[in-house]
Amino acid sequence: MSVPAAEPWAQAAGADRAPRPSPSPVAVVRAARRERTTRYRVVTTALVAVTVGLVVLTLCVGAFMVSFVDVLRVVGGADIDGATFVVWDLRLPRTVTAVCVGVAFGLSGAIFQTLVRNPLASPDIIGITAGASAAAVVAIMLFGLNPDLAAPFAFGGALVAAAIIYLLAWRGSVSGYRLVLVGIGVAAILNAVVSYALTRGDVIDANEALVWITGSLNASSWGRLPGLVWPLLALLPVVALLARPLRGLQLGDDLAAGIGVRPERSKLALIVVAVALAAIATAAAGPVAFVAFVSAPIARRLAPGSGLALVPSGLVGACVVLAADFAGAQLFGDTRLPVGIITGVIGAPFLLWLLAQSNRTGKG
């Protein structure tokens, strides 16, 4: 007895109920990688747009308003009464300094935090910028140095502080938590040196030193920019070259060595570069608080799964410094607050939140 053929609609229904083949693991990995890459590019493009917008806002808005067209003309070389002096001589060097300082601090914090695998390991937490502050304040207060000439002392102080921290944390290798704890202890000693130096000078020098160690862009000028811009441009390619070893070190020393990375040599090179970035930024604008600390965590939250997030971290640092300087100039009437005060107001609650999150998840 023959079995009647199924109706066409039944065949179609059965076809709909047939299980679909699941994607291969390779396809899943490729799709996830494409999604992360797309998210990374979108976030980077958005941060570039925000940075450019803040630059335009800073150049146009102030006690003397300048139109966007006039800003473009001044930057292009035109001489406009009033606008040329305000834009070219006052605002533009300050804005370029803010961008470069933010990029340098953001990259330095991202390298330290990735290398040590600890969000507290930023140069302003572990004593690098404290070394710069101590050297500059001692030079100003005890040796009578002009504050405008304190930048080389700040650079040297940051390097010396980093060397001391590295040597004290070395026990055959550099452990992340040991580096953080040693850095916090060294920072406390250096802050005590700053306090002592401030008590030994006269009131005028103390006021100048306090403005400098707070973190300020007030001393920005075309004459001081080469000491910031050229070292930063020289360090950026080095950061790009060291990105691969840094990715390997994220896996741990043993796995990094297995893929051809020399852990201790790479760590030393990365620390030197990160310290140099923090040193040139501190020498240009003082120890602007918490910029290096918050930049990388914010960048990684904007682009989760993006790995190192070095470029977004630098852009976030630039945005933070630009926005903080603009807020300090425009939101408090005739009083212009140093940029370090605004970043400190932003960064201190972020630090408390991070510590609370770490304790809540058992990682404190």
Of residues 224 and 13, which shows the higher confidence score? 224
Is there a domain that residue 263 lies in? Answer: yes
Which secondary structure element, helix H or strand E, spans residue 96, and what is its range? helix 92-116
**Is the Cβ–Cβ distance between 257 and 87 less than 8 Å?**
no
pLDDT at 9 exceeding the cut of 60: no
Sequential DSSP letters for 307-353: TT-HHHHHHHHHHHHHHHHHHHHHSSTT----HHHHHHHHHHHHHHH
Q: Exposed, middle or buried by CB within 10 Å (0-12, 13-18, 19+), for 227?
A: middle
Is there a domain that residue 120 lies in? Answer: yes
pLDDT at 319 exceeding the cut of 90: yes
pLDDT at 108 exceeding the cut of 80: yes
Q: Is the dihedral of CA 122, 124, 128, 132 positive or negative?
A: positive
CA 31 remoteness from chain centre? 30
**Chain segment 31-42, per-residue pLDDT in tens:** 667 777 888 889
56: amino acid identity, one letter: V
Is there a domain that residue 23 lies in? Answer: no
Domain span holding position 132: 59-83+90-360
What rounded mean pLDDT belongs to the chain?
83
Is there a domain that residue 36 lies in? Answer: no
First-residue to last-residue Cα distance in the chain: 77
Residue 99's pLDDT band (boundaries 50, 70, 90)?
very high
The pLDDT value given to residue 29:
62
Is there a domain that residue 24 lies in? Answer: no
Pairwise CA distance, residues 74 & 92, whole Å: 10
Is there a domain that residue 312 lies in? Answer: yes
The pLDDT value given to residue 145:
77
Mean pLDDT of 327-339: 83
Between the CA atoms of 346, 347, 348 and 352, what dihedral angle is there, to the nearest 10 degrees?
110
Pairwise CA distance, residues 279 & 162, whole Å: 10
Mean pLDDT of 102-125: 88
Is there a domain that residue 207 lies in? Answer: yes
The pLDDT value given to residue 309:
86
**Chain segment 162-210, per-residue pLDDT in tens:** 889 888 888 766 666 788 888 889 999 998 988 888 888 777 777 777 7
Is there a domain that residue 37 lies in? Answer: no
Residue 224's φ and ψ, nearest 5 degrees, are -90, -10
Pairwise CA distance, residues 79 & 232, whole Å: 30
Residue 174's φ and ψ, nearest 5 degrees, are -105, 115
**Least-confidence region, from 130-134, 266-270, 359-363:** 359-363
Q: Count how many domains the chain has.
A: 1
Pairwise CA distance, residues 229 & 18, whole Å: 64
Residue 1's pLDDT band (boundaries 50, 70, 90)?
very low
What are the b/e assignments for 236-245, b being 16+ CB within 10 Å? beebeebbeb
Residue 27's pLDDT band (boundaries 50, 70, 90)?
low
Q: Determine what percent of the chain is predicted with pLDDT higher than 70.
A: 86
Residue 45's pLDDT band (boundaries 50, 70, 90)?
very high
Give the single-character DSSP code of 222: T
pLDDT at 49 exceeding the cut of 90: yes
The pLDDT value given to residue 11:
52
* CATH at 236: 1.10.3470.10
Of residues 126 and 356, which shows the higher confidence score? 126
**Chain segment 226-250, per-residue pLDDT in tens:** 989 999 999 999 999 998 888 888 7
3-state secondary structure of 213: helix
174 beta partners = 170
